[in-house]
Structure 1
Amino acid sequence: SGTGKTTTTFTKQNDSQPVQDDFIALMPQGKVYATENGCFAKTFGLDPKFEPAIYNAVVDSGSYLENVSQNDEGKVDFFDESYTQNGRATFPMSKVAGAADARGLGTASILLILNRNENIIPGVARLTGPQAAAYFMLGETKGTSAGGKEEAGKSLRVPGTNPFFPLLHAQQGNRMLELMHSSPMEVFIMNTGRVGGPDDHPGSKKVKIPHSSAMVKGVAEGTIKWEKDPDFGYEVAVSCPGMSAEDLDILQPRKLYEAQGRMDEYNKQVATLKANRLEHLKKFEGLDPELIQAIS
């Protein structure tokens, strides 16, 4: 929850058309099936400037809102958190401008895995198939208000499609690996949080919606230049059209830490994260060793 999946899906890139918000069936060779005809969106901080498609659908008379503040005249306030940040809205896809019919989809050529981190994960990185299956199982994110006060802001790992997968965790990881081997699709991980530290750290940078939008567009158009990351083995972006020069360190957090004289902090975080990831994946009995080796 809270990684920006809905926002990313409904942010328009060129002539892109959103198909649906949540569940799909991913089959061998990248075939995709989708059945939903609605969307369930977080409303806190909803701004028509950055999320026009979602905003216009949410304020339409056909939507249902929950935990959203409104005044006596019925005007809603998506920035009022006096009761809760966990506001939600549901609306039919027919209310989304330019949405496409979910039936009759073809094959997927690109898969984005979204992650909300606040330190050393780049805004976008290109993964191998085994790395993709491993990151799918790591399921790294930050807790949100949807999980209550105890969970909000904490680093979490939610394997794969949990809590919607009824079998052993290792089985979904192994299945994901099978799907990666059967498909020529490119897979990317995107950090929709921050780099360089939490929001109260003066040296940190927020990955804003326009940043993510530029990365998605660059991925789709194949215009990002890549190089191998020396710490994690995936590929990181050297440049991305639409990203300003002062924000390029969002693409390579290592350079941000280096420029700020924080390499000891960076190296410590790299070592800790890699060790914790390995420890986490080794807990899943029966998980294909190829997934574990992919992040070693």
Structure 2
Amino acid sequence: MTHDIYDESYYKRFYNELSGLLSGKNIQTVSMGYLEKEARKYARRTEYGSYVWSSKISNRLAPKTVYLGSERVRLPRPTEEQKQIIRNAPQQLDKVLHWIKKLPFVHIRRQMGHNGEYNPICNLYVSVNDPKNIRLAYMWASTMFDPSSRPGPEFTMIHIPEEHLMRAQVLALPEYNMNICMGSDYLGEDKKGFLRQAMWRADEQGMLGLHAGTKIVTVRDPREGKLKKYGVFLFGMTATGKSTWSCHQLGLDPDRGEFTQAAQDDIVFLTKDGSAYGSENNFYVKTDVTEEHQEAMYNALVDKSALIENVMVDYKGNVDFLDESLCGNGRAVIFRKKLAVKQGRKLVGISAPTINLPSLEEMDGLIFAFITRRNTIMPFAQELTPEQGVLAYLWGESTHSYASNPALAGDSVRIVGTDPFIVGSRGRKVNRFYDIVMQLVSKYPGKVRFMMYNTGGMGEIIETYEENGQKKKKLVRKTERVPLPLMAAIQRGDLRGTNQYEPGLLGTKSIVAVEGKPIPEYDPTRFYSQEQIDFYIRDLVEGRRKFTDIIAGEGLKPEIVRTAEKAFSIEPAAKPSVAASAAPSFPGTSTVESDKVVIVTTAQPVSRPRRPGTWRWR
């Protein structure tokens, strides 16, 4: 039995013993000034005057992260590797008690959030047995606020990078507000360790921790001529564009008073009045951006204040954010106040005056936008009912891309709330989201909207086959990517209320005209036969049904299950008689690359996806 591998009595003893050791003589409580001075000793200077570091590990230990405690915090479906980590946790935690007495540590105390209700105090202890690891404390602390007397729980994170990579793991004890990372020097472990803990504790206090960016957008209503202010939540997995669209200006007209203000790009805490408390003062972002497509983020990255890691910097200090030959996950801490866009001859800041999203009472509307990345029949924008919005949160969908993971290309990925940091029951998270948004919809009729944006493309065809017992995939036709200016126009039109939607293939309303301009070129029937479309719909429904069954087993509300079952009615009645992977012909559509066949096996290197083209919106 899985529950037999947990030792709750040991976890309590460990916590009590550890608490008495955190003021030892080997632990130095330090200031931001001290961390900055020491961390810079191990950095290189860039052409912009900023500092850059390197780490041995450049991604999170997600497969080796476990939650220790009572049933309400445990992983619902641990892998065999995670089960073994849980079994061995007491021995590993004994080592932590030994190390916390012996190794040199620095301790920095910071505050998450800046509001009147929920401001966790975060204590990070980093082993500096390898002195250059002090950058972890410096960079993470730079994302947080100075401590204050504002209310909030107390969190602890212990980071021991020197543990052997073979025993690398993250042990979270949510009920004790504690996380321990061993064997990795990746900054993301500290960031997500505290944020994961904060989301769970927020849930315990009646809020809802969300893996979402937030922004405030002011647009001029074309019918009334008045400026209106909207709060926007942007949900999305890694590489779907959550950070990009949190900061994007959408081609709004500042001369008419229109603008976007970025509040948060990663984690927020939703309250019952529609407001959302922010978590971070500054952002930890991927660095694969261009000035043309992500102007605000780019300007923050090239500012001397940026704290950069694992990015290509040549011997002269020149930075190449798009050269990922050394590391495919370049990152940086960028300062929120350095997010800026050019207006005329001046750079104008686009960060919101506060990291918190105002209540719905204070705004003209609230939009929950779910960003997915699919490359076949999914429209670039869908207008959802509140019930469909809850299902979008439940399914948290995207797909593996051909560039990021060739072996799984085209396969669906589903994570509740697009949030891989949920502690305990995922059904409980969906239920809370349902309760909050349905109350808002009832209290503020017409002011809450739900959208889904597909930042992938349309038209991709991938064949799967076996050769010598090995699974291979053949790219029969590349996707036609959604042009970034078009996606900006779609979101702009949705805010202004100038787009047109009609009932579509997936039981939702699909976009058919953007700011008055029809887009028939992105009709799925141009890319696929009806048999192929039926195949993709059937595959989508099958995946959603299986995932819903899993989450239903974690306590999903019956009304949500019934809504999901109703949504499955889009499934075609009969199976197609023709293989859905057969490439159709498209007279007069020479832009579709249907003649190129690329075979990729799992052993071949991964390349970056091609960037959006130069399509312009007029």
The TM-score normalised by the length of structure 1 is 0.87
Q: Is the 8 A contact 1:8 1:212 kept in 2?
A: no
In structure 2, C-alpha distance between the alignment counterparts of 1:95 and 1:210, rounded to whole Å: 24
In structure 1, C-alpha distance between the alignment counterparts of 2:285 and 2:560, rounded to whole Å: 32
1:228-247 counterparts in 2 under 5 A? 228-229=503-504, 231-241=505-515
2:262 maps to which residue? Answer: 18
2:489 maps to which residue? Answer: 214
1:118 maps to which residue? Answer: 375
2:479 maps to which residue? Answer: 204
Q: 1:104 to 1:52 in 2, by over 3 A?
A: closer
1:102 maps to which residue? Answer: 355
Amino acid in the other structure paired with 2:277? Y
2:455 maps to which residue? Answer: 192
Q: 1:249 to 1:29 in 2, by over 3 A?
A: farther
1:8 maps to which residue? Answer: 245
Q: Is the 8 A contact 1:130 1:290 kept in 2?
A: no
- Flag structure 1 segments of 5+ consecutive residues without an equivalent: none
Q: 1:239 to 1:24 in 2, by over 3 A?
A: same
User: What's the secondary structure of 1:183's corresponding residue?
Assistant: helix
Residue 275, structure 1, aligned to residue 550, structure 2: no
User: What's the secondary structure of 2:417's corresponding residue?
Assistant: coil
Instruction: For residue 61 of structure 1, report the CA deviation from its aligned partner.
Output: 1.0
Instruction: For residue 236 of structure 1, report the CA deviation from its aligned partner.
Output: 0.9
Instruction: For residue 126 of structure 1, report the CA deviation from its aligned partner.
Output: 0.9
Amino acid in the other structure paired with 1:225? Q
In structure 1, C-alpha distance between the alignment counterparts of 2:244 and 2:260, rounded to whole Å: 14
Give the number of the structure whose residues are more often strand, by fraction: 2
Residue 83, structure 1, aligned to residue 326, structure 2: yes
Q: 1:241 to 1:277 in 2, by over 3 A?
A: same
CA displacement 1:75-111 (0-9 Å, x = unmatched): 1112212223211121110111221122472326111
Q: Which moved more, 1:199-208 or 1:5-14?
A: 199-208
2:298 maps to which residue? Answer: 55
User: What's the secondary structure of 2:325's corresponding residue?
Assistant: coil
In structure 1, C-alpha distance between the alignment counterparts of 2:283 and 2:405, rounded to whole Å: 22
Instruction: For residue 150 of structure 1, report the CA deviation from its aligned partner.
Output: 7.7
User: What's the secondary structure of 2:502's corresponding residue?
Assistant: strand
Instruction: For residue 191 of structure 1, report the CA deviation from its aligned partner.
Output: 0.8
Say which of 430, 434, 458 aligns to 1:177.
Answer: 434
Higher Cα Rg: structure 1 or 2? 2
Q: Which moved more, 1:66-75 or 1:21-30?
A: 21-30
CA displacement 1:107-152 (0-9 Å, x = unmatched): 261111111111121111011112111111211123589x999878
Instruction: For residue 54 of structure 1, report the CA deviation from its aligned partner.
Output: 0.5
Q: 1:144 to 1:226 in 2, by over 3 A?
A: closer
Aligned length: 286
Say which of 288, 291, 296 aligns to 2:557.
Answer: 288
Q: Is the 8 A contact 1:131 1:291 kept in 2?
A: no
User: What's the secondary structure of 1:18's corresponding residue?
Assistant: strand
- Flag structure 2 segments of 5+ consecutive residues without an equivalent: 1-237, 253-258, 341-349, 442-447, 463-474, 569-618
In structure 2, C-alpha distance between the alignment counterparts of 1:148 and 1:225, rounded to whole Å: 35
Q: Is the 8 A contact 1:124 1:188 kept in 2?
A: yes
Q: 1:178 to 1:93 in 2, by over 3 A?
A: same
Q: Is the 8 A contact 2:277 2:356 kept in 1?
A: yes
Instruction: For residue 181 of structure 1, report the CA deviation from its aligned partner.
Output: 0.7
Instruction: For residue 2 of structure 1, report the CA deviation from its aligned partner.
Output: 1.1
Q: 1:22 to 1:242 in 2, by over 3 A?
A: farther
Q: 1:175 to 1:77 in 2, by over 3 A?
A: same
Amino acid in the other structure paired with 1:259? R
Q: Which moved more, 1:98-107 or 1:61-70?
A: 98-107
In structure 2, C-alpha distance between the alignment counterparts of 1:106 and 1:87, rounded to whole Å: 35
Amino acid in the other structure paired with 1:39? F
2:11 maps to which residue? Answer: none
Q: Which moved more, 1:46-55 or 1:18-27?
A: 18-27
Higher-RCO chain (CA-CA 8 Å, sequence separation at least 6): 1
1:59-78 counterparts in 2 under 5 A? 59-78=302-321
In structure 2, C-alpha distance between the alignment counterparts of 1:201 and 1:150, rounded to whole Å: 15
In structure 1, C-alpha distance between the alignment counterparts of 2:521 and 2:389, rounded to whole Å: 23
Q: Which moved more, 1:24-33 or 1:92-101?
A: 24-33
Aligned identity (percent) is 27
1:257-276 counterparts in 2 under 5 A? 258-260=525-527, 262-276=529-543
User: What's the secondary structure of 2:375's corresponding residue?
Assistant: coil
Q: 1:69 to 1:22 in 2, by over 3 A?
A: same
